Amino acid sequence: GLSVSGILLTIGRLAGFLVAVLALGLWILPRFVRWVADSGNAETLLVTVVGLCFAFSLLAAKAGYSVALGAFLAGMVVAESGRERQVEHLVHPVRDMFVAVFFVSIGMQIDPAQLLPNWRGLLLFGGLVLVGKIISGAVGGLLGGNSLRNSIKAGAGLAQIGEFSFIIVALGQSLGVVGPALF
């Protein structure tokens, strides 16, 4: 059920969590990140930033919120330090590693026995997504005042399904809304 008191309690808890994290993140941690960055040791800065990301993610999870919210807030804190370019350069290989692990784990969840009987649906769905995203991206580019060539390029660049789609369909499968064939 949905109740006003439950919603207000949830909003209050979220606001308290965000105020505490942002206060810490605006006054203390940016100075700390700058101090670590100015020490000149890139490895220490990398470990510090990754540690902050995991710590904020753990705090968010313990508070009952998304791990992604914690990682997002950690990114905001690091950006407040003014050393985001330096950190971005250091974190890039780590990010690539996590992306690779994510896509490998998604690939491991695919049951090849489900692909062959459903090949028509897979081709139709894949084609619909690719064509639909290219067209919608191109139309958006055209409406934004870009040339047809640039709009089609932008639409083609947006044609892939993002990793968020895999997360949504996995959630749908865990809730019993999506069957293994669609996944």
- The closest alpha carbon to 60, from 105, 24, 102, 97, belongs to 24
pLDDT band at 142 (very low <50, low <70, confident <90, very high): very high
Contact 155, 133 (CB under 8 A): yes
The pLDDT mean for the chain works out to 83
Q: Which pLDDT value is given to residue 139?
A: 94
Mean pLDDT of 14-28: 81
102-132 pLDDT, tens digit per residue, is 778 777 777 788 778 878 888 898 888 889 9
Q: Report whether pLDDT(50) > 80.
A: yes
Mean pLDDT of 166-177: 76
pLDDT band at 176 (very low <50, low <70, confident <90, very high): confident
Mean pLDDT of 83-101: 83
CA distances from 136 to 11, 106, 159, 166, 182 (A): 36, 27, 9, 21, 24
Cα–Cα distance for residue pair 129/110, rounded to 1 Å = 19
pLDDT band at 84 (very low <50, low <70, confident <90, very high): confident
Q: Which pLDDT value is given to residue 138?
A: 92
Contact 135, 148 (CB under 8 A): no
Quick check: pTM over 0.85?
Answer: no
